[in-house]
Structure 1
């Protein structure tokens, strides 16, 4: 059985993946096998794409042993597969975020990966929570290019981006913003960002309240979010009655050295409570 046929075989047997791939590896140069696994050669998609879409994680793990890195085309294909299946865990496992400069910066700072988890609250009402644990929050914002820090996640059959950004460098106002990544369907959304507060005063009787920030289209002229066509372009015009982001001001506490919205290790703990309308 050719390696590229494994993920779409109807009578797929997980135990057969490794022997089949080992047989292919013995017959083909390593570069050629990796090329077969990452090219759009099965109905316009990669073998890895079909392994994800058909929920065959064993095949994904086996394939990855023969692949040193993904091409941009393969990465895009895998991002779409995770979006189709709402598989955030696989999205994170394969490190499919596109912000390579942020990964490099995190490495230079010696910062461990952030915790980003998606929890479905009620599949019948399209509600889900995204739990964020952003390490070295202030230090990374201060050193990031353009004073922006992105996170991406998969939920509700869509791929989303979320960021903290410096709105107006002249007055130090920061914002929290959310939008859709390329290839996502438009969405009508109500969301609330809850940022956990941490007491820095010994013996404080009650914990401080969380910061509650609405991210909603209610009360605006827009009906829905449109996907951001390119993360680098600023001249993109979304369709009528749609916007490419929802933004809300945070104020200037983001850079306060003794803000209560990061813990003693410098981690910001937050939760996005999202409802698709």
Structure 2
């Protein structure tokens, strides 16, 4: 039954697959089987969440019912499951879907301490990516970070991740606490933009 969930979108509707997912969850509960672990096993070399993203409706558009359903049933997520979800979003070049996952409590982007500090279980940042025209394939992204000043004053690093130009980028704000090759002064607020591991090089 689970194999049916990972088939291409054209073979079954989203509603059918979500319904089938719920049936599987009920059967597993009746037989005391951990459905979360089952979903995070590998089907054709990938997790169910990866396939829910990769074989979902094209192009990906909200509300991402199938990905949301598989995500909810897969929690708590293993690091490898989260890595695969990122990889699937990058493959589809979908920042919107990636942001949806990142904003979900199941994805666990915020630490328990940050959740207590912000009073939320999911990151509250708003991020909009724009891919621009030009020979160098530029892009820009706009973002809002609630309580930025408070979080930085408390020495809490803030990390944003975005999908742009078929790659996963990470923007990290932190307080410099030791000398580095950039000659930053101790206590200075610093921003660092980098490509996440396994993203294709330019």
Is 1:92 the counterpart of 2:107 in the alignment? no
Q: CA deviation at 1:124?
A: 8.0
| Equivalent residue, structure 2, for 1:268 | none
Please tell me the root mean square deviation across aligned C-alpha atoms, in Å: 2.8
Q: Deviations over 1:60-99 (max 9, x none)?
A: 1232342332111211111111121122222222227775
SS at match of 1:104: helix
More strand by share: 1
Say how many residue pairs are matched.
Answer: 182
Higher helix content, 1 or 2: 2
**Structure 1: any 5+ residue segments left out of the alignment?**
188-277
1:106, 1:140 within 8 Å by CA — same for their partners in 2?
Answer: no
1:51·1:59 contact (CA, 8 Å) conserved in 2?
yes
Query: Contact 2:155 / 2:175 at 8 angstroms: preserved in 1?
Result: no
CA contact (8 A) 1:105 1:144 kept: no
Counterpart of 1:178 in structure 2 is 193
User: Whose radius of gyration is greater, 1 or 2?
Assistant: 1
**Equivalent of 1:59 in 66, 70, 80:** 66
Match in the other structure for 2:168 = 159
Partner of 1:68: 75
Counterpart position of 1:128: 139
- Alpha-carbon shift at residue 109 of structure 1 (Å): 3.8
Matched, 1:107 2:116: yes
Question: How does 1:2-13 map onto structure 2 within 5 Å?
Answer: 2-9=1-8, 10-13=10-13
| Shift, 1:186, TM fit | 1.8
Query: 3-state DSSP class of the match of 2:74?
Result: coil
TM superposition score normalised by structure 1 = 0.56
- Equivalent residue number for residue 152 of structure 2: 141
The whole-number CA distance in structure 2 between the counterparts of 1:123 and 1:164 is: 28
Structure 1 residue 83 corresponds to structure 2 residue 90? yes
Q: Is the 8 A contact 2:93 2:165 kept in 1?
A: yes
Give the gaps of 5 or more residues in structure 2.
58-63, 179-184
Q: How far, CA to CA, are the matches of 1:149 and 1:105 in structure 2? A: 10
8 Å Cα contact 1:7-1:59 kept in structure 2: no
TM-score (norm 2): 0.75
